[in-house]
Structure 1
Amino acid sequence: MESIVKAAVMGLVEGVTEFLPISSTGHLILAGDILRFGGPLAATFEIFIQLGAVLAVVWFYREDLSRQLRTLASDTGVRRLWFNVVVAFVPAAVVGVLLHRWIKAVLFSPVVVAVSLFAGGIALLLVERRRHAEQVHELRAVSTRQALVVGLAQTLSLVPGVSRSAASIVGGLLSGLDRTTATAFSFYLSIPTLGLATLFELATSLSGLGAGDLLLLGVGLVVAFASAFVAVGWLLRYVATHDLRPFGWYRILIGLLVLLWFER
């Protein structure tokens, strides 16, 4: 029972933090250490429950995605949107494949995560100090150049603690998207980015799991799905009328907490 509760808590942490610009990796590392959720299962578990977050985005946008699928052949706006999603996806995918082993071997440490959280918080505060030229107010109007800027920004999230959501949203803001469009484009971009990255990781990890681990994986996935679904809707409502500075201050605080916790 204790393991199930821990799996549920880890799923909740993943779901809440995956799409907020605060780094799910940093929070999962901290939560895993506090809960003593480790061992051979932990790494695969943290990867697997990302599927819950991806499915939450798909379910949240299910009506739009269904309509887009039906009109893909006839609607140039839909084709342009998904072409731009692919353009934004490619940079992080290429860099991630090329540097995958090095990133896992060198960068996955509490100190790197703490510094990334702290630096990312400062970056959010600085970005919010400048005036944004909001030129684009809907997903279909995102240009290929803007998509590429978002994609290049997303490559920074390969560093643990940076946050894929924060990097892609900030890239969108700096390229001229309004907050809601930048956030929605980040959510769309998460479908191929997190989906394929998760499948890539699982292909090399699932062989070491036993039958008894499936229940924990299922619990984590379901909780991550439910909490991510709520988080996606909340963030879209939040950014419509608020800026990202509270997340910046929070990242600074949690970065210091991670550093103090693991250096104790």
Structure 2
Amino acid sequence: MNIIHVIVLAIIEGLTEFLPVSSTGHMVIASSLMGISKDEFVKLFEIVIQLGAILAVVVLYFKRFFKSLDFYYKLVVGVIPAVILGVLLKKYIDALLESPLVVAVAFVVGGVILLFVDEWFNKPTVTEEKNISYLTAFKIGCFQCLAMVPGVSRSAASIVGGMSQKLSRTAAAEFSFFLAVPTMFGATVKDLWDFHKHSTLSADVMHQDMKYLLIGSVIAFIVALMAIRTFITFLEQKGFKVFGWYRIFAGIVIIILYFTGNALHNM
């Protein structure tokens, strides 16, 4: 992995983290196309820079994070399913991160769902976070767990989960953003600790790796700042169909490349 790889992956992360298209899936495919081998650091990098992008939420919605303790209680309740399943299924999740084919299939399936989600859930009754119940927060957290399969999209899973619980598109998107903060913070801390505990790298290599993590996180943060507001505005006006068609097209292209002997197959 070199500095060009770091910059490209960080830009992809910042652009796609809050779109219902799967940032992890895009990074898996981009890594494969750039010939980046899937070692433990690359897997760590793809998790850590997601936290960099997620921190853009804290900046843009700063006041919401100091509104009430009830806000934090809901986030805790919502993150419980991911914590439990993340611990139980970590080795299986890591294995899935190495498969472009899994990403492609998840792209297509998720894309088909996004084509119809606006019609399925078109009578929202909850338009603000303060009206989300603890049970609803927990259910959205369960939907979020679907994103442990790369290509599903954490944003898509939790937004669709929110809309299925009568949240408006905007309310569901914003709660999805908020829920991402503790989810990705926990995943990042755990992966950093595991990497440090098991690493046999020299001090020089470790220093280089930490520099890449910092650069990638900063770039993802800056790009995400610009992407969030644009996505919310687009979502309010246009809905999900364009993302659905994009996912289906991208998934089909990846499947074709995979089965025609492209480098994706040799990842």
Verify same fold: TM over 0.5: yes
Q: Give matches, 1:168-187, under 5 Å.
A: 168-187=158-177
CA shift for structure 1 position 131: 4.5
**What residue number does 2:225 align with?**
229
Counterparts of 2:78 and 2:123 in 1: how far apart (Å)? 20
Contact 1:132 1:174 in 2 (8 A): no
Give CA-to-partner distance per residue, 1:34-65, whole Å, 9 cap, x none.
22233644222212212211221212222332
Name the TM-score, length of structure 1 as normaliser: 0.89
1:157 maps to which of 147, 158, 161: 147
Counterparts of 2:232 and 2:177 in 1: how far apart (Å)? 10
Counterparts of 2:120 and 2:63 in 1: how far apart (Å)? 35
Identity %: 40
CA shift for structure 1 position 113: 1.1
Please state if 1:8 is matched with 2:27: no
Contact 2:103 2:151 in 1 (8 A): yes
**What residue number does 1:250 align with?**
246
**What residue number does 2:81 align with?**
91
CA shift for structure 1 position 99: 1.1
Partner amino acid for 2:112? Answer: I
**What residue number does 1:73 align with?**
none
Please state if 1:31 is matched with 2:27: no
**What residue number does 2:19 align with?**
20
Contact 1:14 1:28 in 2 (8 A): yes
Counterparts of 2:73 and 2:53 in 1: how far apart (Å)? 23
Partner amino acid for 1:154? Answer: Q
CA shift for structure 1 position 249: 0.7
Counterparts of 2:119 and 2:90 in 1: how far apart (Å)? 34
Counterparts of 1:131 and 1:42 in 2: how far apart (Å)? 38
**What residue number does 1:124 align with?**
114
2:234 maps to which of 235, 238, 256: 238
2:137 maps to which of 147, 157, 171: 147
CA shift for structure 1 position 107: 6.4
Give CA-to-partner distance per residue, 1:186-236, whole Å, 9 cap, x none.
000000011111111121124345222333222211111111111112112
Unaligned 5+ runs, structure 2 = 262-267
Please state if 1:81 is matched with 2:71: yes
Name the TM-score, length of structure 2 as normaliser: 0.88
Unaligned 5+ runs, structure 1 = 69-77
Give CA-to-partner distance per residue, 1:64-88, whole Å, 9 cap, x none.
32x32xxxxxxxxx23322222221
Between 84-93 and 19-28, the greater mean CA deviation after superposition:
84-93
Matched residues, number: 253
CA shift for structure 1 position 105: 2.8
